[in-house]
A and B are shown apart, each in its own frame.
Chain A
Amino acid sequence: MPILAIDSLTLTLQDKLLVKNLTVNINEGQRWGLLGKNGVGKTTLLHSILGIITANSGEIKFRGKNILDISRQELAKNLGILFQEGISTLPATVLETVLLGRHPHVQTLLRDDPQDVAIALDALKELELVDLAHRQVDSLSGGERQRLGLAMLFAQMPAFFLLDEPNNHLDIAYQVKLLETLNDRLNQSTENRSSQGSGVGKASLLMATHDINLASRFCDNIILLMGNGEWISGTNIEILSSENLSKSYDCSIEMIESGKNRWFYPT
């Protein structure tokens, strides 16, 4: 059974057709990229998977169950999102912010469970933010804040990661680092985390990005939104071609191959 099954999903936003009859099955451990030009509906699709936007028709199933029949808390234990806007800059320390990621799992009423704090600190370590744990969030740089958003998501420990432009505000070194960190996190298998109750098996990921090369390097499968409700999906190799991309982005895009990697650039 796929971990996430999108079945004949149709989404419109203020009468604009975004996707029509989208059907995609995402299996455990897979990394999917979601590409398409600005305003084509990537963010709306991610939000609909989270159930915070209702689709016009079709359904989305998480582990075989319609997400609209799953309680918000149960869903949040399993699906986590990194929002495109990043985290807000309300006065709070870095550690307090990461701890919010534990919200769906929290068992204690008032005091912070030491185990939750430990998980939050681990997430900060993974994102190299642990030295800033007691800093105020509004004193962080854009890149640090973006990593903090990711640390919050790591602390949430979802089985399915939804990322909306994860490399926003990140310099090239941190973009690479981000991929490695995500890689490590997705490869951590059940034995570490099944005890947390966030399910069994490897985590999966769906990442909306406008960086084609990032998706090409990191994702094994791609959903490419073409506009006007059209879409294509399949493996990285099938979908990412200069023909498909040129059509999707309405701009001539060429490809060069170097070793195992393929690079795309506009001409």
Chain B
Amino acid sequence: MIATRQLLLLGLLVLLTIASIIFSLLSGSVELTLGQLLSELLQPRNEIQSQVLHEIRIPRTIAAFITGGLLALAGVIMQVLLRNPLADPYILGISGGAAVGALSAILIGASGWWLSNAAFAGALMSVAIVFGIANRFGSWSVTRLLLTGVVVSAGWGAVINILLTTSSSNNVQSMLFWLMGDLSQSDVGRIHYLLLAAGLIGGLIVSRSLNVLMRGELVAASLGVNVNGLRIALYFSASLLTATAVTIAGSVGFVGLVIPHMLRLMGARDHRLLLPYSILLGGSFLVVADSLARTLIAPQQLPVGVVTAVIGVPTFLIILRSTISK
């Protein structure tokens, strides 16, 4: 029955998550075997390997997983909020605002903490602008929100182009990496785990209402959902999740758009399942993508956003094709 199929999918996703993490911890210029990995994790002995593992690979793997999870979760929420299959976490201009913040920071030579906070501030500014304009005329219409977001997003795009064309080539390189999504500068801490956990728990609490909201606002209202309140909560939570993800890793594309669709195509349409599954698949997808990004043309690194598209596009098309032909 349905339940067994869903459990099977959950089992697969857990396995995939574990496999992706092991793959990521084994990838890199310092060779490690699976046995060495396990013994280093349990009982650190070898100085260099232990250092590489604990100071580089583990934090980066966690950063990739958290970012992927945040983006996939935000993607699911945006798709319900806008009732539009093309919605992704960036559609309402959050990444654009963050990019303008980050690029301005790069332009004036800031990095690290300053860069992250400039990106976060830019994202929040965009969230506030879009909400302010879309909400200005009293009632909230999804179409108006979508249009406002898309237009504001286009505005940010123009500013980004100005920044790119007027910057020195040195800066442009870092700017492009940021724009395509890059985990090499990422710093993930307790606040990020908490945010992802809070997003999941909050999402699960309203998951039944999300199922109803997918049917349209009239249906949802007639079944007892406070549609406006829920939408505002969804808008701000998806925005916060996205802003955080973008602050960690820049605008990594594709994860937030495609992971929810992949899972829906595999039968996880109920948000009680879709939300946790998205975190697992989004997280492990980005972990694998990032492992490849830093090993494929080593010692150089690729922006992870390039790899997500290169793996994601064919995978998605294959799943789409196999479910349609059924």
Contact = CB atoms under 8 A, between A and B. Distances in A.
Contact of B215 (A47, A87, A109): A87
B224 interface: yes
Given A90-B214, A109-B205, A72 B224 contact: yes
Nearest to A162: B222
B157 to A, nearest CB: 32
Contacts of A71: 224, 226
Contacts of A75: 224
Report whether over half of chain B's contact residues are helix, strand or loop; otherwise say mixed: helix
A51 B204 CA distance: 27
Nearest to B273: A110
Contact of A100 (B212, B221, B226, B264): B212
A104 B218 contact: no
Contacts of B212: 100, 103
Contacts of A110: 204, 207, 272
Interface string B222-239: 111110000000000000
A90 B224 contact: no
How many residues of A sit at the interface, in one of the four size bands?
20 to 34
A80 B223 CA distance: 7
Contacts of B215: 87-88, 90, 100
Given A52-B218, A88-B215, A93-B2, A106 B208 contact: yes
A73 B205 contact: no
Given A106-B208, A110-B272, A156 B214 contact: no
Contact of A80 (B207, B208, B222, B269): B222
Contacts of A106: 208
B36 interface: no
Contacts of B204: 109-110
Contact of A83 (B208, B219, B272): B219
B114 to A, nearest CB: 42
Nearest to A79: B222
Contacts of B207: 110
Contact of B223 (A51, A92, A156): A156
Contacts of A19: none
A156 to B, nearest CB: 7
Contacts of A88: 215-216, 219
Interface in A23-70: 47, 50-52
A127 interface: no
A101 B225 CA distance: 12
A144 interface: no
Interface string A139-156: 000000000000000001
A93 to B, nearest CB: 7
A153 to B, nearest CB: 9
Interface in A178-226: none
Nearest to B229: A72
Given A88-B215, A93-B2, A103 B221 contact: no
Contacts of A96: 270
Interface residues of B, number: 23
Contacts of B272: 110
Contacts of B218: 47, 52, 83
Contacts of B208: 103, 106
Nearest to B221: A52
A81 interface: yes
A72 B216 CA distance: 15
Contacts of B211: 100
A72 B270 contact: no
A2 interface: no
Which of B205, B216, B219, B270: most chain A Cβ within 10 A? B219
Nearest to B209: A103
Contacts of B270: 96
A101 B208 CA distance: 11
Contacts of A101: 223
Interface in B266-296: 269-270, 272
B219 A77 contact: no
Given A72-B226, A83-B218, 14 more contacts: A50-B222, A71-B224, A73-B224, A73-B225, A75-B224, A80-B222, A91-B269, A96-B270, A100-B212, A100-B223, A103-B208, A109-B205, A110-B204, A110-B207
19 contacts: A47-B218, A50-B221, A72-B224, A73-B225, A76-B223, A77-B224, A80-B222, A83-B218, A88-B215, A88-B216, A90-B214, A90-B215, A90-B269, A91-B264, A92-B269, A96-B270, A103-B223, A103-B224, A109-B205
The 3 closest A-B pairs by CB, nearest first: A76-B224, A104-B224, A73-B224
Interface of B: 2, 204-205, 207-209, 211-212, 214-216, 218-219, 221-226, 264, 269-270, 272
